[in-house]
């Protein structure tokens, strides 16, 4: 039960929301798994994100709908799943293939907000109409840091004094082209926007800042290596190829193989493991790149405080999908495993999630607020398609209605669920209540063939022959790899290529596929039925009515 103080606080927050005065700062990190201090991943040093978490709600089990940049971003920015956007690769624009769907920033723009894009929000290029969806989504042309064009350039110093195009790439920033790095540029541009909008208090804003790190190349200021001595870095707990893994599920990490330092290792395709010493170097640099990105987040938080914006700005920090760091002998994303689909999600709502920490409903950039014992954490299953309706509800603008079964002609609707009830429940009950939420989270990944080949990681739409649909429940991860027709965009559920079943209670790293064991025959039958019924049947009970599903 809420006490009187809680009731008054909630009323104040709801009044603020109803007046539509809350700004939005959306921060998206590229290829970031939940390897953060606030998620209990002790090797990582992320004090700024941890500080944000200390005044927010931390979502412990959040899942991307496809573990690759273009499809994932098209999905969560439209609140439609890949089978609706029809974006399965980096070369398809949802407005041409799926429908003229209203995006998250477009919805805010249509409701009187000025909207800004800094860095990587939509996947640039064909996946966003070669304009980052401007002018639909943004009030001004999106900003891209000029130094991002060196992503594939030979700028990484090698031991022989020459420059290479490497994965592992600690650098002296002053020696880089333009003497800076992409994320440094994005931070400075975002801070300039904050300064400008602070002068117009009556104009709400939606500011999306997309950081490129820790996406490869792992290029970052070399001083961040000092945070992670190599003798303190360990291999993944399960660095070997699982014996029962269906070959169609294998991610041969072709993007790493393009890099000069990996080429020099002469790793055999597709299963040859990286040498152990290089596995450690990649993990070390992923950690360093994450801490570098964390410092950029810290600059944004300081900016909110400096320009007096934190008392009326919702902050959402998230990843677009995860990344494998040697688990299952894999690297990159491009799979349906937990390490590829699970992402961090942290939501700050002024006056609600920071209750009891300050009375002015303002984010305080003071690390004395960090107390890991007091993190407000929910273990409910949520999905990135839920972000759109949630931010809308928090900001007091129209919450998109649930999409009907055939929604290709509907510009504004959602295939997700606002998780504002979870935020309120977690705040007022410190995560101890029994609020029932989604029974499953859904993701998918395409393949061109049953056996790994050069384009298995990133098949173009025309080459997709198999779709792997995966479902994460409280206890299980269940996956079916089934036939897919790229011309009709139809799935043939009777054309079964492989199954995977992992029991998280006893196998949290998903190393032992038990789908073929007799002991689990009934579990497989039950989960297969639920997977086929899909995400609608997994919604929270209050959302799972015939009226809601078909309106």
Q: What band does 373 get if pLDDT is binned at 50, 70 and 90? A: low
User: Could you read off the pLDDT of 443-472 as tens digits, one per residue?
Assistant: 999 999 999 999 999 999 999 999 999 999
The pLDDT of 396-415, averaged and rounded, is 94
pLDDT at 551: 29
Q: What band does 429 get if pLDDT is binned at 50, 70 and 90? A: confident
- The set of residues, in sequence order, having a beta carbon less than 8 Å from that of 386 and lying 6+ positions away, is 79, 416, 417, 418, 419
pLDDT at 406: 87
Q: For residue 79, count CB atoms less than 10 angstroms from its CB and return exposed for 0-12, middle for 13-18, buried for 19 or more.
A: buried
Between 371 and 157, the more confident residue is 157
Classify 380 as helix, strand or coil. strand
Which of the residues are catalytic?
69, 123
Does residue 421 carry a pLDDT above 90? Answer: yes
H/E stretch holding 345 reads strand 342-348
Q: What band does 9 get if pLDDT is binned at 50, 70 and 90? A: very low
Q: For residue 17, count CB atoms less than 10 angstroms from its CB and return exposed for 0-12, middle for 13-18, buried for 19 or more.
A: buried
pLDDT at 87: 98
The pLDDT of 50-63, averaged and rounded, is 95
pLDDT at 36: 96
Q: What percent of the chain has pLDDT over 70?
A: 91
- What is the sign, positive or negative, of the torsion defined by CA atoms of 300, 305, 309, 312? positive
Between 550 and 227, the more confident residue is 227
Q: What band does 363 get if pLDDT is binned at 50, 70 and 90? A: confident
Does residue 541 carry a pLDDT above 90? Answer: no
Does residue 30 carry a pLDDT above 90? Answer: yes
Does residue 17 carry a pLDDT above 90? Answer: no
Does residue 544 carry a pLDDT above 60? Answer: no
Q: What band does 15 get if pLDDT is binned at 50, 70 and 90? A: very low
The pLDDT of 69-93, averaged and rounded, is 98
Q: At which residue do the structure tokens 């002068």 appear?
A: 199
Average pLDDT score, the chain: 92
Q: What percent of the chain has pLDDT over 90?
A: 86
DSSP of 442-507? EEEEEESSSS--TTSSS--GGG--EEEEEEE-SSEEEEEEEEEETTTTEEEEEEEEEEEEEETTT-
> Which architecture characterizes domain 4-550 according to CATH?
3-Layer(aba) Sandwich (3.40)
Q: What band does 217 get if pLDDT is binned at 50, 70 and 90? A: very high
Does residue 11 carry a pLDDT above 50? Answer: no
pLDDT at 319: 98
Domain boundaries along the sequence of the chain: 4-550
User: Could you read off the pLDDT of 374-398 as tens digits, one per residue?
Assistant: 789 999 999 999 999 999 999 999 9
Q: Could you give the residue ranges of the DSSP H alpha helices within 122-199?
A: 182-197
Does residue 183 carry a pLDDT above 90? Answer: yes
Does residue 519 carry a pLDDT above 90? Answer: yes
Does residue 227 carry a pLDDT above 80? Answer: yes
User: Could you read off the pLDDT of 230-278 as tens digits, one per residue?
Assistant: 999 999 999 999 999 999 999 999 999 999 999 999 999 999 999 999 9
Bridge partners of residue 469, in order along the sequence: 444, 480
The pLDDT of 214-218, averaged and rounded, is 98
């Amino acid at each position: 039960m809420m006490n009187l103080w809680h009731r008054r606080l909630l009323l104040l927050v709801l009044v603020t929301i109803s007046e539509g005065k809350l700004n939005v700062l959306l921060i998206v990190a590229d290829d970031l798994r939940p390897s953060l201090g606030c998620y209990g991943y002790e090797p990582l040093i992320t004090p700024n994100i941890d500080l944000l978490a200390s005044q927010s709600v931390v979502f412990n089990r959040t899942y991307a709908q496809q573990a690759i940049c273009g499809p994932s971003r098209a999905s969560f920015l439209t609140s439609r799943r890949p089978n609706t956007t029809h974006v399965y690769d980096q070369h398809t624009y949802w407005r041409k293939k799926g429908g003229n769907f209203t995006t998250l920033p477009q919805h805010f723009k249509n409701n009187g907000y000025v909207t800004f894009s800094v860095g990587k929000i939509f996947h640039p290029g064909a996946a966003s109409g070669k304009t980052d969806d401007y002018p639909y989504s943004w009030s001004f042309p999106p900003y891209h840091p000029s130094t991002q064009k060196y992503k594939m350039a030979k700028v990484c110093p090698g031991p022989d004094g020459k420059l290479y195009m490497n994965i592992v790439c600690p650098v002296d920033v002053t020696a880089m082209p333009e003497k800076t790095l992409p994320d440094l540029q994005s931070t400075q541009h975002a801070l300039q926007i904050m300064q400008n909008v602070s002068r117009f208090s009556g104009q709400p804003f939606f500011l999306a800042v997309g950081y490129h790190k820790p996406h490869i190349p792992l290029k970052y200021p070399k001083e961040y290596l000092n945070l992670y001595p190599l003798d303190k870095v360990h291999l993944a707990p399960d660095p070997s190829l699982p014996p029962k893994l269906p070959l169609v599920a294998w991610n041969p990490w072709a993007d790493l193989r393009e890099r000069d330092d990996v080429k020099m290792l002469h790793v055999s395709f597709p299963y040859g493991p990286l040498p152990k010493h290089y596995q450690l170097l990649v993990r070390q640099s992923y950690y360093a790149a994450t801490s570098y990105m964390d410092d950029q987040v810290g600059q944004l938080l300081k900016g909110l405080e400096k320009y007096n914006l934190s008392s009326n700005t919702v902050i959402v920090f998230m990843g677009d999908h995860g990344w494998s760091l040697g688990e299952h002998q894999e690297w990159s994303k491009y799979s349906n495993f937990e390490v590829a689909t699970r992402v961090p999600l942290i939501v700050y709502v002024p006056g609600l999630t920071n209750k009891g920490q300050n009375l002015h409903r303002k984010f305080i950039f003071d690390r004395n607020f960090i107390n890991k014992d007091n993190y407000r954490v929910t273990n409910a299953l949520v999905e990135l398609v839920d972000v759109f309706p949630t931010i809308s509800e928090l900001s007091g603008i129209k919450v998109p209605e649930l999409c009907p079964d055939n929604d290709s002609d509907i510009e504004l609707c959602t295939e997700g669920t606002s998780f504002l009830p979870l935020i309120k429940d977690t705040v007022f009950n410190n995560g101890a209540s029994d609020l029932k939420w989604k029974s499953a989270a859904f993701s998918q990944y395409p393949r061109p063939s049953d056996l790994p080949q050069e384009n298995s990681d990133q098949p173009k739409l025309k080459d997709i022959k198999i779709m792997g649909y995966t479902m994460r429940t409280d206890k299980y991860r269940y996956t079916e790899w089934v036939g897919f027709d790229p011309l009709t965009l139809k799935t043939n559920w009777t054309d079964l290529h492989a199954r995977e079943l992992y029991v998280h209670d006893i196998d949290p790293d998903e190393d032992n596929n038990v789908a073929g064991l007799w002991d689990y025959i009934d579990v497989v039958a039950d989960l297969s039925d639920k997977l086929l019924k899909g995400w609608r049947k997994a919604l929270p009970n209050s959302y799972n009515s015939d009226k809601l599903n078909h309106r």
